[in-house]
Structure 1
Amino acid sequence: MKKNKEIEVRSEETTRNINGQNYSVTELYIGKKKIGEVLHYGPKEFQSFAEDEDLGASKTMDTAIETIIRRWNLHEQ
């Protein structure tokens, strides 16, 4: 049976200007590789992206991050 490895995910906060409006963005990294971004649209609206793929909206930051990690895990393993 394959054992699960612990992987450290690092986040960096930044802002991005989209259509003239500034949004907070959390970028997620494993090592030096960026695995995705979470765009903060509002208090309960978070949009997840991995590379150029839109992974959908979430109501919490934790759910948005989990979506990105799950996608990375499926494609990298």
Structure 2
Amino acid sequence: MKKNKEIQIRMEETTRVLQGTKYDVTELHIGKKKMGEILEYGPKDFRTFMDSEAIGSSKTFELAVEAIIRQWNLHE
């Protein structure tokens, strides 16, 4: 039976200005590869992006992280 290997995901917080509005952005990385980004549009509105392509929105930060990890696992 093959054992599951633990993978470290690193988060980097930055800010971006889009259309004159400043947003908090969290980037998720595995090693040197960027998995995706989470933009916090509001208190219960987290938008997720992979390779500049929107993949959805979530009500909590944790759900947004899960969405990126799920998409990453499907494509890698």
TM-score bucket of the superposed structures, by smaller chain = over 0.9
Q: 1:16: which partner in 2? A: 16
Percent identity (aligned): 63
Equivalent position of 2:35 in the other structure? 35
TM, length-normalised to structure 2: 0.93
Structure 1 residues 14-60: Cα deviation after superposition (integer angstroms, max 9, x where no partner): 00000000000000000011110000001110000011221111000
2:53 maps to a residue whose letter is E
Aligned alpha-carbon RMSD (Å): 1.0
- Structure 2 gap ranges (5+): none
CA distance in 1, matches of 2:3, 2:74: 16
Q: Distance in 2 between matches of 1:40 and 1:58?
A: 10
Normalised by the length of structure 1, the TM-score is: 0.92
Structure 1 stretch displaced more, 16-25 or 48-57 = 48-57
The total of aligned residue pairs comes to 76
